[in-house]
Amino acid sequence: MYRVFIVDDEPFIIEGLYDIIDWADYGLEIVGHAGNGQKALEALRHTPVDVLITDISMPVMNGLDLIRGARQQRPELKAIVLSGFSEFEYLKEGMKLGIENYLLKPINVDELSSTLTTTVAKLHSSKTDSLLDAYGKQILKDNTLYRWLMGQIAPAEFRERAELLGLSLNQPYIAVAVLHLQRGDSGRLLEKLNDRLKDKESYAVFRDVDGDLVIAAALPHWVEGKREFLELMAELGEELEEENPVQIGIGSIGQLPDEAVLSYEEAKKSLQYFLIYPEHRLIDYSLLPANERISRPEFPVVWQDYAKLILAKDKDQLLARIAQDFEDMQAIPGVTPEYVQDAALELMVRFKMTLQDIKHTEESDLFRQGFDCIRNASSYTELVEAIGDVACRVIESLVKDVKSPVVHQVLRYIHDHYAEELSLKTLGAHYHIHPVYLGQLFHKEAGETFTEYINKYRVERAKEQLVATNLKVHEIARSVGYWETGYFYKQFKKYVGISPTEYKSLH
């Protein structure tokens, strides 16, 4: 769990934030709150916090000064600002501090949810260290452009922030390229790209939550703009080859603003095709043979059905579906061997992307042999067998994790270290598994979320101490892992039905 601290001089705002969001669903827990910046800063000196949500206008110390002070103790702290006023100066100052978002009161729950999702994704990312090295304008730029290309920001808000950030995307067309770094420092590469493209006013460079570098270019002309964009991406690939080799995926040219999201999706998907075409430095999604053919309406595969079978881990039905679909494909009038092979390769890419979405980690080795077998298949039977073999490996990978002892190891670790700071991030690093996927596995095997289990376990240990010792409530709270006594009271009453003090008086 990542730890959240809330600061606002209006108690009903704090209470509302506790209630309007199911924090555990985001992998977050509120560990404390305060009514002004000074009290918050004092609390933060002994309370580990990952995300600070603060009002701007408060007595004693305002939110911006609080962020500055808190960052001296914890430079990587994520900050989300609340305000009852749309003050440009406040927003500009917040941008300099590298805030995640500037939310106006009354708080829009959807916007807060979107901001929390993006913030947690950054914290989860395996490349978080490089993302945390730079603050200020680039971080707000990363956040704004990523939310824009994910369709998570309203047009009016985006225009306002683009103007503030000096982004010039006022052209009719959009092209997006995603650069996946094969080795080297993404922070240095970001600096290189910003320097290389500094004269391109309608180009914007940022990092997404996967740590990939994204170039979004607003283009005045479709044909000429696309040609220049592709030439520039090819030049970048050559320039970076020796020191920072990259794989470059390019989405289709689209119209602004409606097709920006699609271009980014296609650019990200293009990266998956480097397993099929490892000799390429750049892949343009619009030129992929698989894309041209498999998009035809007569293609018999309904991917949603495959995805459901994968999630259900139904190997027999999945194999039967593959055999039936490729048998149907053979019956398509005018079908060619190349068409069938391209369809099989496309299916492999979708298998890989689905497994990556579920497990939040790449398993390229699992698919390399399958791609080679499909490319080298000399008969329809060999082709279907190759697809079926990869499908079985995908299911086995998921089944293996469900039966994996890692959750049992995590449970033992919780029982031995429940008084310490525990989170999916730290345990994921300890057991070499992605925190998001660990949370999913834990929920499946334990029957409840990671946060729920820890809170229940800590409350049970607290009940024992309330009966057997003369320790004060705040001492017991600390001894079972709660830094903030108010939060301990809230969790205790949630699971026991009465307060710790009332429970102690009954025993």
Burial class (CB in 10 A: 0-12, 13-18, 19+), 298: exposed
* Exposure b/e, 339-372, CB count within 10 A at least 16 = b: bbbbbbbbbbbbbbebbeebbbeeeeebbeebbe
Per DSSP, the three-state class of 294 is: helix
For the record, the structure tokens of 138 come out as 């680039």
Residue 63 vs residues 40, 68, 81, 114: alpha-carbon distances, Å: 10, 9, 8, 21
Give the C-alpha separation, 158 to 154, whole Å: 6
Got the DSSP string for 300-315? ---HHHHHHHHHTT-H
* Exposure b/e, 431-447, CB count within 10 A at least 16 = b: eebbbbbbbbbbeebbe
**pLDDT value of position 248:** 96
Q: What Rg, from alpha-carbon coordinates, does the chain have? A: 26
Give per-residue pLDDT as tens, 447-477: 788 999 999 999 999 999 999 899 999 999 9
Nearest alpha-carbon partner for 229 in 240, 242, 219, 214: 219
Give the C-alpha separation, 139 to 132, whole Å: 9
pLDDT > 70 fraction of the chain, expressed in percent and rounded: 92
| Residues 297-301, mean pLDDT to the nearest whole number | 53
Domain 166-285 has CATH 3.30.70.270: yes
**pLDDT value of position 401:** 63
Q: 406-506, what's its fold?
A: Arc Repressor Mutant, subunit A (1.10.10)
Q: What are phi and psi of 335, to 5 degrees?
A: -65, 145
**pLDDT value of position 136:** 53
Nearest alpha-carbon partner for 268 in 287, 247, 289: 247
pLDDT top residue among 242 and 283: 283
Give per-residue pLDDT as tens, 342-392: 888 888 888 888 887 777 666 777 788 888 888 888 788 888 999 999 999
With beta carbons less than 8 A apart as the criterion, state whether 254 and 262 touch.
yes
Residue 152 has pLDDT above 90, yes or no: no
Give the C-alpha separation, 376 to 276, whole Å: 12
Single-letter residue type at 397: S
Q: Which residues pair with 176 in a beta bridge?
A: 216
Residue 90 has pLDDT above 70, yes or no: no
**pLDDT value of position 235:** 93
Q: Where are the alpha helices (DSSP H) in 97-255?
A: 109-124, 128-132, 137-149, 155-165, 186-196, 223-240
**Residue carrying structure tokens 């520039």:** 232
Long-range contacts of 390-394 (CB under 8 A, 24+ apart): 390/348, 390/351, 390/366, 391/315, 391/318, 391/319, 391/322, 391/351, 392/315, 392/319, 393/366, 394/310, 394/351, 394/354, 394/355, 394/366
User: Residue 162 — very low, low, confident or very high, per pLDDT cuts 50/70/90?
Assistant: confident
> Residues 419, 425, 426, 430: is their CA dihedral positive or negative?
positive
Phi-psi region of 60 (alpha: psi -120 to 50; beta: other; left: phi over 0): left
For the record, the structure tokens of 467 come out as 């009966």
Structure-derived torsion over alpha carbons of residues 266, 269, 275, 281, reported in degrees to the nearest 10: 40
Burial class (CB in 10 A: 0-12, 13-18, 19+), 88: exposed
User: Residue 52 — very low, low, confident or very high, per pLDDT cuts 50/70/90?
Assistant: very high
With beta carbons less than 8 A apart as the criterion, state whether 274 and 280 touch.
yes
Mean pLDDT for the chain overall: 84
For the record, the structure tokens of 410 come out as 């995590």
With beta carbons less than 8 A apart as the criterion, state whether 213 and 186 touch.
yes
**pLDDT value of position 4:** 95
Q: Which CATH number fits domain 2-124: 3.40.800.10, 2.160.10.10, 3.40.50.2300, 3.40.630.30?
A: 3.40.50.2300
Give the C-alpha separation, 92 to 155, whole Å: 19
Q: Which residues pair with 6 in a beta bridge?
A: 33, 53
**pLDDT value of position 129:** 44
With beta carbons less than 8 A apart as the criterion, state whether 28 and 2 touch.
yes
User: Residue 296 — very low, low, confident or very high, per pLDDT cuts 50/70/90?
Assistant: very low
How is the chain split among helix, strand and coil, in percent rounded to 5?
60, 10, 30
Residue 290 has pLDDT above 60, yes or no: no
Give the C-alpha separation, 25 to 18, whole Å: 13
Give per-residue pLDDT as tens, 213-241: 999 999 999 999 999 999 999 999 998 88
Q: Which residues pair with 388 in a beta bridge?
A: none
| Residues 503-507, mean pLDDT to the nearest whole number | 81
**pLDDT value of position 278:** 76
**pLDDT value of position 85:** 65
**pLDDT value of position 132:** 36
Residue 26 vs residues 374, 385, 507: alpha-carbon distances, Å: 40, 40, 37
Nearest alpha-carbon partner for 187 in 134, 238, 239: 134
Q: What are phi and psi of 326, to 5 degrees?
A: -75, -25
Give per-residue pLDDT as tens, 181-195: 877 777 788 888 988
What is the domain partition of the chain in residue ranges? 2-124, 166-285, 294-401, 406-506
